[in-house]
Amino acid sequence: MVVPPDKASADFDLLHRNEYTFCLVSTTYTCPFSPGDVVYVKLRSQKDTGRATILADADPSGRILVQYHADKSMLYHVNPQRLVNVYPTDTPLILLCENTTDYRTLARSQIDRNDVVAEIGSSYGVCTNILSQHAKQVFGIEVSQQLVDEARKRYPHLVFHNINILEHKSRAATIMQDVNKVFVDIGGNREIGVVVRALAFLIDRIKPSLIVVKSEELFESAQRHLDKSSSNNESGRIPDGPCWFETLCKDHAICDGQTSSAESWFLRARRDGFTKNPLRYPIRMTSDGVAICKLQNYREEGCQKLSLCRFDHIHCHHCGHAGHKALHCPLVNT
C-alpha cells in the first residue's frame, strides 16, 4: 500500500519525536550523584573550567570528591549544592526550565567545545555570549531587528540572525544545518502554542541531540502532567514525554494549511456561541507560516487594527481556506 506523502511525513515526525526524552530541570528535581558521573561545578568565575567527574560517594560531611577535567591534578571536595548534572545526549534530550537562572546554568553546564549551538530568542545576546564561552561555535536568532542590532553592538564577536523560524522555516533550517544543540527562550508574553510550535519545528527539521527550553507555561504544563504520573519520578524525567508533547500539539492545533473535517475544539466553541475571548483559541497558521488573526475570525466586526495587524486576515482560522471567517466556516455543514 502506498502511503500518502503527508501521512508518511506525519508518521515519520511522530516516530522521530518518540526518540526524545523530556525532562524538567529545577531545584525541585534532583538526581542522586554517583562515582563516575560527569557534573558541572558552579564556579564564581562562571568560565568553562567547571566540568568534573565524581570520584567517590559523599563523605560524612556530605561533600563530594570531584576531579576537574581542565586539570586532572585538581581534586576537591565540593558541596553537592554546587553540582549540576551533565545530561548524557547519546539519545536525544529536551530539558525544560522555568526561569533565567536555570536556563543560564544549563548554558554553562551542558555545552562543550565540540558543540555547535543556536540560541533562538537571543534578545540582547547575554546567554548567547555565555554559550560562546563553552561551545565550538554559537549564534543567536531573534525576530526583533532592534534587539539584533543591540546584541551586535554589545557582542561584536558573535553572530546574530534576524529571522522568524516559524515564518521562514527553510531559511532557518539552512542556517541551523550544522547545529547539534539548541537553546530556546521565546517565552515572555507569548502563548504556549508558539513555544510548542517552535519545539515541533526543531524536533522535526533540525533534530538536535539537545534542546533546552525556557518557558514557564510549558514547564508548568509538564509539571502538572508529571504530578499525575504514577511513577512520581523525582528526577524530573517525564516517563511518557512524547505522548504528552503530542497531546500539546493537538490541544493547540499545531498544524499547517487546511483541514478537511471540523475539529472538536471548534465544534465546542461553536456550540457555546464563540463566547470565549478570541485570543484564547488555538494558534493556527497559513501554509506560509503566518499566524491567522483570531480577532478577524471570531468577531463580526473583524479586527479593528486591520491596517496595522501583522496577522493573516484572508484565511479561515478553522479550516484554513481563504474567503470566509471561522464564524461562518462552511466546513461544519459538510
Supply the pTM of this predicted model: 0.73
Q: Which residue has the cell 531587528?
A: 145
Q: CA-to-CA distance for 280 and 12, rounded, in angstroms?
A: 30
User: First CA to last CA across the chain, in angstroms?
Assistant: 29
Give the domain range for residue 296. Answer: 255-334
Report the number of distinct structural domains present in the chain: 3
Residue 247 shares a structural domain with residue 117? yes
pLDDT at position 260: 55
219, 251, 283 — which closes off a domain?
Answer: 251
The one-character DSSP state at 181 is E
CB–CB of 321/312 below 8 Å?
no
Residue 279 shares a structural domain with residue 245? no
- Amino acid, res. 47: K
The pLDDT profile of the chain, 334 residues, written as one tens digit per residue, is 233 334 344 444 445 667 899 999 986 666 788 999 999 998 776 566 789 999 999 999 999 999 999 888 889 999 998 999 999 988 999 999 999 999 999 999 999 999 999 999 999 999 999 999 999 999 999 988 999 999 999 999 999 999 989 888 899 999 999 999 999 998 654 567 788 889 999 999 999 999 999 999 899 999 988 888 766 566 788 888 999 998 888 776 555 455 556 677 788 888 889 988 998 888 787 766 678 899 999 999 999 887 788 888 999 998 888 889 999 988 775 4
pLDDT at position 287: 64
200, 218, 251 — which closes off a domain?
Answer: 251
Residue 143 shares a structural domain with residue 277? no
CATH number reported for the structural domain that contains residue 101 in this entry:
3.40.50.150
DSSP H or E run through 53: strand 51-54
Residue 301 shares a structural domain with residue 321? yes
Could you tell me the CA-to-CA distances from 104 to 26, 85, 145 in Å, in that order? 12, 14, 23
Could you tell me the CA-to-CA distances from 119 to 28, 140, 156, 195 in Å, in that order? 25, 5, 16, 14
85, 107, 124 — which closes off a domain?
Answer: 85
Report the sign of the C-alpha dihedral through residues 113, 120, 12, 91, in that order.
positive
Tell me if residue 233 falls in helix, strand or coil: coil
Residue 24 shares a structural domain with residue 55? no
CA atoms within 13 A on the CB side of 57: 2
Residue 180 shares a structural domain with residue 264? no
Backbone φ, ψ for residue 156 (5° rounding): -65, -15
pLDDT at position 310: 86
Residue 129 shares a structural domain with residue 208? yes
Report the sign of the C-alpha dihedral through residues 219, 115, 166, 331, in that order.
negative
pLDDT at position 167: 81
Helix, strand, coil shares, percent, the chain, to 5: 35, 20, 50
Tell me if residue 103 falls in helix, strand or coil: helix
Residue 100 shares a structural domain with residue 247? yes
Tell me if residue 312 falls in helix, strand or coil: strand
Residue 95 shares a structural domain with residue 238? yes
Residue 44 shares a structural domain with residue 158? no
Residue 17 shares a structural domain with residue 131? yes
Residue 162 shares a structural domain with residue 21? yes
